[in-house]
Amino acid sequence: MPLGFSVMGTRTLWWGGCAWDSFAMLHLLKGEPDVLVATRCPACDIPHAWVVGRDAPPQGDQVAHCLTPMHRAWDDVVHTCGNQRLFCSTDCVDAWVHKTGQERGYVMYLGTLWRFASDWYTGRLDPGYTRRAPAAAASYFAEAGLHGSFWGLPD
């Protein structure tokens, strides 16, 4: 299901899902040296693209906005993923929030998104994979630089 992102490798193009998944895909695709992540700002429709590699976050002043707090993420995962988007700036986030009547969620810079996504799905494609328990997920969120009740962490 297209949710606003494409991820292109050397020979293959995938739907990226959300901002989180789009930045994480490289780490699941061991044969790819990097990937091109493309989307449009939901507020102003300006296109954006980044080469996402394993060694450092992509450059840019854009921000990721996650609408749904993690304790509610699995209530409607399509809604959750469909609202983890990349914006030109916090001004665009605020314009989108105002236009849609949503409450502002969590905003992070590209470097934080990259750190967060880089190891989240480790082992996901291995047989017998089990996702992190809530306490392990909270620890991972904190290590990636996330904070606050949105992620189930102290403010």
| Cα 153 to Cα 147: distance, rounded to the nearest angstrom | 6
Angle between helices 110-118 and 19-28 (to 10 degrees): 50
CATH number of domain containing 16: 3.30.450.410
Residue 107's pLDDT is 98
| Cα 117 to Cα 19: distance, rounded to the nearest angstrom | 9
Task: Give a yes or no: residue 58 inside a domain.
Answer: yes
pLDDT of 1 strictly over 80: no
Task: Give a yes or no: residue 1 inside a domain.
Answer: no
Give 13-29 as a DSSP string. EEE--SHHHHHHHHHH-
Task: Give a yes or no: residue 110 inside a domain.
Answer: yes
| Cα 44 to Cα 7: distance, rounded to the nearest angstrom | 21
Residue 2's pLDDT is 72
Task: Give a yes or no: residue 145 inside a domain.
Answer: yes
Which among 27, 35, 46 has a CA at the least distance from the CA of 6? Answer: 35
Single-letter code of the amino acid located at 146 = L
In total, the chain counts a number of residues equal to 155
**Residue 148: beta bridge partners?**
none
Task: Give tens-digit pLDDT for 95-126.
Answer: 999 999 999 999 999 999 999 999 999 888 88
Which among 29, 123, 34, 112 has a CA at the least distance from the CA of 66? Answer: 112
Task: Give tens-digit pLDDT for 54-109.
Answer: 999 999 999 999 999 999 999 999 999 999 999 999 999 999 999 999 999 999 99
Domain range for 94 is 6-151
Residue 55 exposure: Cα atoms within 13 Å on the Cβ side: 2
| Cα 68 to Cα 107: distance, rounded to the nearest angstrom | 11
Q: What is the pTM of this model?
A: 0.93
**Any residues with CB less than 8 A from the CB of 143 and at least 6 apart, and which?**
none
Number of compact structural domains in the chain: 1
Contact between residue 101 and residue 67 where contact means Cβ atoms under 8 Å apart: no
Task: Give a yes or no: residue 115 inside a domain.
Answer: yes
